[in-house]
Structure 1
Amino acid sequence: MNTLRAKLTGFLVGGVVLVVVLATGLSFALLTPPHFEATEDAIAAQLVLLAGLIEAHPDTPPASPGRLIGASPAPAGGPLATLPMRGLNAALDRMKGGRPPVVGEVVVSNPPDGGSPVISARLPDGRWLLLPVPMPPAPPNPGWAVVGWALMLAIGTTAVMVFAVRRLTAPLALLERTAAAIGPQGEMAPLREDGPTEVRVAARAINLLSSRLKAAMESRIRMVAAAGHDLRTPMTRMRLRAEFLDEDQREAWIADLDELDHIADSAIRLVREEVQRPAQTPLRLDLLVDEVVGELDGIGLPVTLAATGPATVTARPLALKRAIRNLAINASTHGRGARVEVGTDAQGALVRIADDGPGIPPALLAQVFEPFFRVDPARGSSIPGAGLGLAIAREIVLNHGGSLTLDNLPGGGLEQRVRLPALPGSTPDPEPMSA
């Protein structure tokens, strides 16, 4: 409920309902209540007039089912209507000179058949004048009628406001869905430019942004690939010329050329990882990590497998192996030793690589994944490298639907955490992998 759409809907509905409630209360306060005394006085005058006519014409036909007004030997039956009877007797007493002599006791009763109330007035000769009072029937359940009116008001207002808010916030919802659908490489499917004007404008702007972003990324990829490829030719010529130099100078030149070749090769690998999408297969992550640790330990790097547990993922074996190797090499060279753990938790498969180095300054943690970024001053040593190992590893992990995070350990050192979607019940690939 903590969304702009929900908040805006609640604000508008609450505002409308509050205004209606205040307006209704003000109306009840300003409306003049009906003048019951005037109505009672008019009925009393009519009753006196009819009683006088019957007294002047004793032969007036008596009241009957077909004749509602007339004289009767007894009053009308039914339960008494106390309030109307009290008001009518008070109106007769208010008449000039007191109660007229032609009208004696007056009772008002509700007939058993549920019709209009009947006034029974005693005449001087002992008979009763029957006078029905036509009144509209009281509405059944007046309280529920008010509640129903309030509910209909609230439901109708909410429906209208929800429709209006959804219409107004459609571009924002479109932006939210589009942002959630952006892939690891920034790609997104083109949006349909239809619907209301606001939605069409937003979709057109997003499609334009997507096309420009894709063009910029492709241009960057082509530029890096071309630069890495074009460096190969001059470096080969320089390597041939270095053979004719003195032995001391030749070794320095060959070392520099090897580092340049490593940089060019890393750049090309990064570009290939961004543009290529080989098929993924089920893979035992713990066996892959054990193989990487064994290879690095075999070449003399301080890498150990601290703990391991079965974990199956869907991955491209060579690419994922390259990512784990880059992270382990980074920890063993810059962090003076790497401890690797593999397992699973509620969020999927997890690889933890911890080292004993000085860590990374918190201000630089957000930049370590940038290509060619180096943290050598923070590591305390100048180690040759292209500065692309973390960038390539992160690109591979993201392409597998996972995440790569770096955190400084409380007691010193750095922890690299690779989290991948686990695949329980999959059959791992038993074939050994090689880079």
Structure 2
Amino acid sequence: MREASYRLRRWLAGRMLPDSLQGRLTLVMVSGVLLTQLAGNVIWTAQRRAEAREEVKTAAQHLAHSASSAVRFFLSLPPNYRPLIIQQFREMGGTRFLVNINRAPVPVRPLKGRELADAALGQLLATLQEDLPGTPGLRVAFAWPERLRVDDGGVTLADLPESWTRHIMLARPAPVLLIQAELEPGHWLYLATLMPNPYFLETDNPLARDRLLLQALSLAAVLLVSILVVRWITRPLAALSDAATAFGKGENPPALPETGSREFVTTARAFEDMRKRIGRYMDDRERLFVSISHDLRTPIMRLKLRAELLDDDDLRGEFHDDLDELDMMVKGALQTVKDSDIHENATEIRLDALLGRMVRDAQLAGHEVSFAASGLTVTARPLALKRAIGNLLNNALQYGARVELAVGEDGGNIEIVVRDHGPGVPETALAGLGQPYVRLEHGRSRNGAGMGLGLSIARGIVQAHGGQLLLANAAGGGFRATIALPGAVFNPQ
């Protein structure tokens, strides 16, 4: 169970995380910015809503005190004077409240589901009950001005003169506060007004469109700067990777610039030092093997001449066999170094032309070889690649009656397949193939002069190109050697 969970996490990480360092750094920075913005918005929204709630309660309390004063004023008037006072208010241009006297409370369609409205109404009702303890009926509600009734006869707010409603009717509709108080039986005071902040309900949603747009623009700017910074940081690493890849393929890339961060400059200097040391090592290795070739051939030749002086023919033959084997081993070691260390520049190779010539040469020698054109090209060192393919083809011709060559493309890589119809290789021996001087029993019987270096040389050349040499038994019998090289390019011709 634990192993399955670990594999699942590995799979999810591989699917969700980008492959490149630039992609991963960008993802981390973008995620950090988004999480910071989200956390900041959550905290700010909570604080803003708490502040808006307190502001609305304070405004409602002050408004309730004003309404209480108006109710007490009308309670102090005789009932027959109240309409006259209301008319005077209207002729004077109105007051903060739109006032009316009705025989019964006017039905209102209140706002529902608004947290700030409910908080304001609660505070209003509590303050009114505190200021007017003897008032039997108090009703408070918020309603939209459209079709809002002002009396029990059906007159709406829109039917009143503009001079009466100029303190309530705004260009953009705002919720109207209605306070209805029973003065005496059959006399209800109707008060309509606006909150000090008429559009207070909008503060219930701090994430308004304009704020979201501003945050989106700021987030886009931060992300753009983050991506540019990540690219600026990772660009030297990409140059280092390209230089390492080119050096691994035997090319001679230009020296890395010692500019940028201190860490990159240190890494570039270390890479240049490593490249120089490896270059010196390769030169020393080549000189060493040339010296070995020169130094060993002379004593081997002297031993062969001295062996001719032996009287015993059998002993002389054994000496010659041992010296021939020693000479072959020296030549094989030198061949391994020279074949896997070919100094040439990489170029674009038309595989149809290269393999076609090799197939024709094999057919002229009497071998049965088939090949189908593919129209593919690859960037490689021509002589080295030809030598690697030639070693595989020679092995296939040596051990198989019929050979097939094929070229294909798989996942952006090019595959050159050499398949023979010979006896194949025991499964237990596949792991050791490609090692120097490793030869199987049927190889010794068919090719006694071989040294077991062909596959080793081919593998070294392929790996120097950044590819792989895959060896396996073919389905249906025979052996299959596949050269997988990166960077295949399709040739439309």
TM normalised by structure 2 equals 0.59
1:201 and 2:276 are equivalent in the alignment: no
Letter in structure 1 aligned against 2:407: T
Letter in 2 for 1:148: L
Match of 1:292 among 339, 346, 362: 362
Gap change, CA 1:393 and 1:168, over 3 Å in 2:
closer
Q: Take 1:127 and 1:401, find their aligned partners in 2: how far apart are those partners?
A: 93
Output one character per residue of 1:94-125: Cα deviation in whole Å (capped at 9) or x when no partner.
4245349xxxxx9997314459869899999x
1:148 paired to 2:212 = yes
Which residue in the other structure is 2:141 paired with? Answer: none
For residue 43 of structure 1, what is the amino acid of its counterpart?
A: L
Counterpart-to-counterpart distance in 1, 2:42 and 2:205: 21
Q: Structure 1 69/267 Cα, relative in aligned 2: closer, same or farther at 3 Å?
A: same
Q: 1 CA distance for matches of 2:172 and 2:393?
A: 94
Contact 1:359–1:378 (Cα < 8 Å) also in 2: no
Output the CA distance in 1 between the equivalents of 2:17 and 2:404: 39
Secondary structure at 2:455 match in 1: helix
Residues 318 and 156 from structure 1, CA distance in 2 versus in 1: closer, same or farther, beyond 3 angstroms? closer
Partner of 2:473: 408
Cα offsets for 1:374-410 (capped at 9, x unmatched): 2346967694444432233334556677653211346
Shift of 1:185: 3.4
Task: For residue 287 of structure 1, report the CA deviation from its aligned partner.
Answer: 3.2
Q: 1:38 to 1:268 in 2, by over 3 A?
A: closer
SS at match of 2:256: coil
CA contact (8 A) 1:120 1:130 kept: yes
Match of 1:98, SS? coil
SS in 1 for 2:54: coil
Contact 1:188–1:210 at 8 Å: present in 2 too?
A: no
**How far has the Cα of 1:188 moved from its partner?**
5.3
**CA-CA distance at 1:341 after TM superposition:** 0.9
Q: Is the counterpart of residue 45 in structure 1 residue 65 in structure 2?
A: yes
Using the alignment, how far apart are the partners of 1:284 and 1:143 within structure 2? 71
Higher helix share: 2
SS state at 1:346 partner: strand
Asked if residue 235 in structure 1 is aligned to residue 300 in structure 2, the reply is yes
Match of 2:418 among 349, 352, 358: 352
Classify 1:217/1:357 alpha carbon distance in 2 versus 1 (closer, same or farther; 3 Å).
farther
Q: Relative to 1, partners in 2 of residues 1:184 and 1:8: Cα closer, same or farther, differing over 3 Å?
A: same
- CA gap of 1:182–1:16, structure 2 versus 1, over 3 A, is farther
**Pick aligned residue for 1:135 from 197, 217, 225:** 197
User: 1:321–1:46: structure 2 CA closer, same or farther, 3 Å change rule?
Assistant: closer
Which residue identity lines up with residue 353 of structure 1 in the other structure? R
Output one character per residue of 1:265-311: Cα deviation in whole Å (capped at 9) or x when no partner. Answer: 4444443441421786753413312313543x5xxxxxx42532235
Instruction: Report the TM-score, using the length of structure 1 for normalisation.
Output: 0.65
Aligned counterpart, 2:7: none
- Counterparts in 2 of 1:250-265, with a 5 A limit? 251-265=317-331
- Residue 321 of structure 1 deviates from its aligned partner by 5.3
Work out the number of aligned pairs and report it: 409
Aligned equivalent of 2:131, options 78, 95, 112: 95
Say if 2:295 is the partner of 1:222: no
Alignment match of 1:212 (pick from 277, 281, 290): 277
Task: In structure 2, give the amino acid aligned to 1:330.
Answer: N
- With 203-212 and 376-385 compared, the bigger mean Cα shift is at 376-385
1:329–1:91 Cα change, 3 Å: closer
Aligned partner of residue 42 in structure 1, secondary structure: helix
**Which of residues 149, 155, 169 is equivalent to 1:111?**
169
| Contact 1:359 1:379 survives alignment (8 Å) | no
Give 5+ residue unaligned stretches, structure 2: 1-15, 78-83, 102-107, 112-116, 137-149, 152-156, 158-164
Matched, 1:342 2:378: no
What SS is found at the alignment partner of 1:417? strand
Change (3 A) 1:173 1:284: closer
- Structure 1 segment 323-402 matched on structure 2, within 5 A: 323-331=388-396, 335=399, 337-347=400-410, 348=414, 350-354=416-420, 356-357=422-423, 359=425, 365=431, 368-370=433-435, 372-376=436-440, 383-397=448-462
Worse overlay, 220-229 or 178-187: 178-187
Q: Structure 1 residues 185, 364: closer, same or farther in 2, change over 3 A?
A: farther
Q: Are 2:86 and 2:100, in contact at CA under 8 Å, matched by a contact in 1?
A: no
Report if aligned partners of 1:323, 1:392 keep a CA contact under 8 Å in 2: yes
> Contact conserved, 1:229 with 1:268, CA < 8 A, in 2?
no
| Superposition CA RMSD, Å | 5.6
- Structure 1, 377-386 or 197-206: larger mean CA deviation: 377-386
Structure 2 equivalent of residue 429 of structure 1 = none
Stretch deviating more after TM superposition (128-137 or 276-285): 128-137
Match of 2:373 in 1: 310
Q: Give the distance between the partners of 2:44 and 2:322, measured in 1 at CA.
A: 87
CA distance in 1: counterparts of 2:241 and 2:252, whole angstroms: 15
Q: 1:71 to 1:241 in 2, by over 3 A?
A: closer
Counterpart of 2:54? 34
- Tell me how far apart the structure 2 counterparts of residues 175 and 278 of structure 1 sit (CA, whole Å): 20
Q: Higher mean Cα deviation, 286-295 or 65-74?
A: 65-74
Seen in structure 2, the aligned counterparts of structure 1 residues 400 and 305 have a Cα distance that, compared at 3 Å, is farther
Tell me, yes or no, if the aligned pair for 2:402 and 2:420 is still in contact at 8 Å. yes
Could you tell me the percent identity over the aligned residues? Answer: 27
1:378–1:41 CA distance, 2 compared to 1 (3 A): same
1:431 alignment counterpart? none
Kindly provide the amino acid, as one letter, of the partner of residue 65 in structure 2: A
